[in-house]
Structure 1
Amino acid sequence: MEPMRLQAQAKELENVSPDSDRSESSAESFWLVTLLEHKYSRFCLMVDS
């Protein structure tokens, strides 16, 4: 459920000012952090089980 909310949040960020370089880079870093968190949580699940 959480990843879906994060995706919606990221889309909102992109829609605020799509032509701004600063917002574009922040959206990119946001996706990178989300991806890392996702991989980390999956790794933790594998270790726990």
Structure 2
Amino acid sequence: MFIAIPTAISTIATVITALATFVAVVATFIAVVAALTTVVAVIATLATVAVE
């Protein structure tokens, strides 16, 4: 019984770390998409200005 407790804590810690890593990856992906969206918007604006 007492042996299982540290193992459970370790497992929970591993799961939390994995979730944190996943969240960080998703956040990075969202940031990259946002940056690309901004770049596309700037290019579209410049193209519109150039056409006019």
Compute the TM-score of the two structures, normalised by the length of structure 2: 0.57
Q: Which runs of 5+ in 2 are unaligned?
A: 1-19
Say which structure is richer in helix. Answer: 2
The structure, 1 or 2, with the larger RCO (C-alpha pairs under 8 Å, 6+ apart) is: 1
Matched, 1:45 2:52: no
Compute the RMSD of aligned alpha carbons: 0.9
How far apart in 2 are the matches of 1:45 and 1:24?
31
Q: Percent identity?
A: 3
Map 1:7-46; keep pairs closer than 5 Å: 20-46=23-49
Count of aligned residue pairs for this structure pair: 31
Compute the TM-score of the two structures, normalised by the length of structure 1: 0.61
